[in-house]
A and B are shown apart, each in its own frame.
Chain A
Amino acid sequence: MGPFEYLWLTVFIIFVFIAFVRKYPNELGTMTLIFAALFLITYIGVPKLPAILDKIFIKLLGAPPTPRQEEHLLASIFSLTFIGIIFASYAGQTFSFKGSPASGFKGFLFTLLVGMINGYLIAGTLWFFQDNYNYPITDFHLLYLPLTPLGETIANYLPPYVVPPAFWAILMTIMLLFRVRK
């Protein structure tokens, strides 16, 4: 496989297309769940899970995991949990927003913006789980380091790096307030 940012760009584009298929009121529901997931992961998961993992390892195996094992485990747990939440937000009865969406060019623009935000949040967060834990996926030779200069630049703007954890909760609250308004 090629540079990291190509994978990121592919995932991003897929979610923009999904937004055009589902229209933005449905995508706003997914966005709400992404905010909730990001808040839980960045506010509780990232700071607390390493210590919990250490305790479980010591209890079961008598020794904590090696640093690289821990990075593999954390990146995998967070990625799978996040993918699970995203899947749940798209599957079955979805958490969509009520009301009539804007039509014409405005509707097109809003759908594009929502798709781009969801793409950025999903692809960027999955990339963050790799970047934050020193790219465990490269051990499987699926993707290669070092990042290209463009990749290095993008990596500085991954969602959990640029948005404080509590801000995800604020965004989620705003979304929920609009979701329940009469």
Chain B
Amino acid sequence: MDPATLAELQANILFWIIIALFAWQGYQRGLWSELVKFGFIIVGFLVGQKDLLGKYLLQAVNGIWLSVQFLLHGGLKAILTGNFNADTLNRIFQEIGGIRLIPRDRTDIALFLAMIFLILVGYVVAKFAKRASPGLGLVAGAFNGLLLSAIFIPILPKTPPFQLESLSLAGILKQLFALFKYLLQTAFHFLAWLFGFLNDIFGQWTIPILLLAVIVIILFSLNPAKKKS
């Protein structure tokens, strides 16, 4: 078999394995759960596109940020004291300048993260849905898998990072090692990219904010000890 056909065959097998996994999950969770996920995937996809809902999200986030900055830089004081004239407004807007929470060159990353966030929220919310119609859930799950593949496959590299060239034990081990290395490198690149993005927004407060967020999430995961009766 020539390498191009082998690569295509592997990609097809991988695709159907992914669809089967999503279908199995749909069967386990039921139809309602899959419909909730479907809703969040669609909303996430629309938010992820700058020309669709993305531009509205960016406007809203930057607008809220500007309002907060306005209030912090003397706007609140001006409103409370009634000193709300053109000079005060000019001074405040000069002070805060053209401040944007999400810089123009980072909008694509911000929208991509917003899309991932919404899809993840969908998966969390779907856990609370009642299990019903597993058969239809299977079909809906497979469809969700197809939808997610359509969204994320174009982002993946065009050439596969590893290829099963030999079915010997040594060949399989070699490819497993290549897969592990690829996943590790991707994880590091993603973390570096995420940190760079957060650093652009929060500057010197990036690490304190990350530290606080991680700690609060972990502390909330600890269920209080049950009282002894």
Contacts and interface: CB of A to CB of B under 8 A. Distances in A.
Interface of A: 24-25, 28, 31, 97-102, 106, 110, 113-114, 117, 157, 159, 162-164, 167, 170-171, 174-175, 178, 181-182
B207 A175 contact: no
Contacts of A100: 222-223, 225
Interface of B: 204, 206-208, 211-212, 214-216, 218-219, 221-225
Contacts of B211: 117, 163, 171
Contact of B219 (A159, A167, A178, A182): A178
Contacts of A157: 207
B225 A99 contact: yes
Contacts of B218: 24, 28, 110, 113-114
Contact of A99 (B212, B214, B215, B223): B223
Contact of A102 (B214, B215, B221, B224): B221
A157 to B, nearest CB: 7
A25 B216 contact: no
Given A102-B222, A113-B218, 16 more contacts: A28-B219, A97-B222, A99-B223, A100-B222, A101-B221, A117-B211, A117-B214, A157-B207, A159-B207, A162-B206, A163-B207, A163-B211, A171-B212, A174-B215, A178-B219, A181-B224
Nearest to B195: A157
B208 A106 contact: no
Majority SS at the chain A contact face = helix
26 contacts: A24-B218, A98-B225, A99-B222, A99-B224, A99-B225, A100-B225, A101-B222, A102-B221, A102-B222, A110-B221, A113-B214, A113-B218, A117-B214, A117-B215, A159-B207, A162-B204, A162-B206, A163-B208, A163-B211, A167-B208, A174-B215, A174-B216, A174-B219, A175-B215, A175-B219, A181-B224
Residue from the set B214, B219, B224 with the largest chain A CB neighbour count within 10 Å:
B219
Contacts of B221: 101-102, 106, 110
Majority SS at the chain B contact face = helix
Contacts of A167: 208
Contacts of B224: 98-99, 181-182
Residue from the set B204, B207, B215, B225 with the largest chain A CB neighbour count within 10 Å:
B215
- The 3 A-B pairs with the shortest beta carbon distances in the complex, nearest first, are A99-B222, A162-B207, A178-B219
Contacts of B206: 162
Contacts of B208: 162-164, 167
Contact of A25 (B212, B214, B215, B222): B222
B183 to A, nearest CB: 15
A24 B221 CA distance: 11
B124 to A, nearest CB: 12
A163 B221 CA distance: 24
Contacts of A97: 219, 222
A181 B225 CA distance: 10
